Homo-oligomer: A and B are copies of this chain.
């Protein structure tokens, strides 16, 4: 049993108390023990609770205690699913999709290069490669990309079908990626609008993921937010094996990206500061201030 929810009650006439717990409301006689159920009367005083609890040592209550508590716990579990969980699952799924698309993309390039190396060399974006594999023959693709086609083997349709199926599966994943992203944006728009506005979908969601939820993120100091995602480098530094990291996942933020090399650390620090404010505004349901913050930062560093 994780928790036992006990409320106490007390009735002051003739040594009888009313006591409420998870099983219901009981009338208790100080000498005879539990004498019946009832909902009238004043609740037992805090000092009496310990004395009263012994009456429930009777084995007949054990099973009921167990099942009532279990169902209460289950209800709590049910209620404990928040937007945090959904966002964390979605952003993890998104990252796994990216990883997989890279893996499959490399495979498709290598495979398709057997029949059409010229196109594979020209196209460095997997999404575009998928389109070519699915929609065109090799010679058609070569024509569009203005390359002379010579080196690839002429494979029968049976062999090409396998590559096309792989490409089709990849296209499905690209669509799924987009769906995930739109969904994330939608959820975050109501759950953490400030964070969304200043950090963007991916970085915002990843902050929630690494920070383990909005509540904890709001409690973290800005300096920690600045280094979320750079744990490895940070601990290496703390063990004395390297320079202190200046940014974690914030490195991918467009403000940090756009800054000069020397300034990146500074921008990340100020950005983390504002993001920390944003997460607090979101957690405590404050106003929408992220737009101002963004303008401020852009004016200073943009």
Contact = CB atoms under 8 A, between A and B. Distances in A.
A contacts with B: majority SS: helix
A179 interface: yes
A45 interface: no
Interface in A93-134: 93, 96, 99-100, 103-104, 107, 110-111, 114-115
Interface stretch (A55-63, A78-86, A273-281): A78-86
Contacts of A96: 103-104, 107
Given A71-B150, A104-B96, A153-B79, A176 B169 contact: yes
Interface stretch (A3-11, A15-23, A157-165): A157-165
B111 A89 contact: yes
B89 A107 contact: yes
Contact of A90 (B151, B155, B162, B186): B162
A157 B99 CA distance: 27
Contacts of A110: 89
A152 interface: yes
A288 interface: no
A81 B152 CA distance: 8
Interface in A211-245: none
Nearest to A186: B158
Please classify how large the interface on chain A is, using the bins under 10, 10 to 19, 20 to 34, 35 or more. Answer: 35 or more
A114 B153 contact: no
A114 B85 contact: yes
A254 to B, nearest CB: 26
A181 to B, nearest CB: 11
A180 interface: yes
Contact of A165 (B162, B165, B166, B176): B176
A255 B36 CA distance: 70
A172 interface: yes
A249 interface: no
B92 A107 contact: yes
B81 A153 contact: yes
A291 interface: no
A74 interface: yes
A100 B166 CA distance: 13
A-B CB proximity, top 10 nearest: A81-B153, A89-B111, A74-B151, A74-B150, A100-B100, A81-B114, A77-B151, A169-B176, A93-B107, A162-B183
Given A79-B153, A86-B114, 9 more contacts: A71-B150, A74-B151, A78-B154, A81-B115, A89-B107, A93-B107, A93-B162, A161-B179, A169-B176
